[in-house]
């Protein structure tokens, strides 16, 4: 399992679809928001939690189309399906590798980008916590979408259409945690709901992803 994780991390870096691309897109979205709504600090502070969460969500979405495509193209998926390692563990490791190369860097850079959107000081802690709790769910859900569309021509567009509706609950509660924290309100309830979503998809979706892959590999 460790060797597979290291391999996926190296592939994500070499393919250019993880660390660099996600951070660049997150930065671009954050920079464009003030241009689109104007330089009013009060307005930017209001939309900052939702804007940062939306940017992180879209940045995670960018690299999903290559999450399983490279292994499908070179036949690695067929080998992994016949390996002693359960396919559920394989998709879990791939989701973890995606989070380490995409989700975690977004969590780390989010406070710096919050300055550009005039995020209130109390909101930085809750923004980081909400992203840290919620972004693993984005990677796990994205892995399930990648398993559904692996091997399809132009599967990237279909993947986006399938995954985006599944991302909505995570986006709602994640942005709500950051918004409540920024305004000094109690944020425990949406944070617990966000953690519940992450725990639920992490427990269930690897089995669904593995089942879909077995069907696609027949």
Alpha-carbon distance of 180 to 137, in angstroms, equals 21
- pLDDT tens-digit map of 55-108: 999 998 887 877 887 777 777 777 777 777 888 888 999 899 889 988 999 999
Range among 12-16, 112-116, 132-136 with highest mean pLDDT value: 132-136
Look at residue 174 in the predicted model and tell me its pLDDT. Answer: 96
pLDDT band for position 15 (50/70/90)? Answer: low
DSSP single-letter state for residue 17: S
- The residue-averaged pLDDT of 149-157 equals 74
- pLDDT tens-digit map of 25-47: 899 999 898 888 887 888 888 99
Look at residue 5 in the predicted model and tell me its pLDDT. Answer: 82
- Residue 215, pLDDT above cutoff 80: yes
Closest by CA position to 114, among listed 35, 170, 173, 47? 47
Q: Where are the domains of the chain?
A: 2-216
Closest by CA position to 65, among listed 141, 123, 145? 145
- Residue 195, pLDDT above cutoff 90: yes
Question: pTM above the 0.75 mark?
Answer: yes
């Amino acid at each position: 399992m460790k060797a597979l994780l290291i391999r996926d991390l190296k592939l994500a870096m070499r393919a250019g679809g993880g660390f660099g691309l996600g951070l660049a897109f997150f930065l671009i979205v954050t920079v464009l928001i003030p241009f689109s709504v104007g330089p009013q600090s009060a307005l930017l502070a209001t939309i900052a939690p939702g804007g940062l969460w939306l940017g992180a969500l879209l940045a995670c979405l960018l690299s999903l189309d290559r999450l399983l495509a490279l292994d499908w193209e070179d036949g690695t998926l067929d080998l992994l399906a016949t390996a002693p390692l359960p396919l559920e563990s394989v998709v879990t490791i791939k989701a973890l590798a995606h989070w380490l190369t995409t989700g975690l860097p977004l969590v780390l850079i989010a406070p710096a980008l919050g300055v550009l959107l005039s995020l209130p000081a109390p909101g930085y802690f809750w923004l980081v916590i909400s992203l840290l709790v919620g972004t693993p769910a984005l990677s796990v859900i994205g892995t399930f979408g990648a398993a559904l569309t692996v091997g399809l021509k132009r599967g990237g567009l279909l993947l986006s259409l399938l995954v985006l509706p599944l991302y909505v609950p995570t986006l709602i509660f994640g942005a709500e945690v950051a918004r409540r924290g920024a305004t000094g309100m109690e944020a425990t309830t949406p944070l617990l709901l966000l953690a519940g979503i992450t725990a639920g998809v992490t427990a269930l979706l690897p089995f669904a992803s593995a089942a879909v892959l077995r069907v696609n590999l027949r």
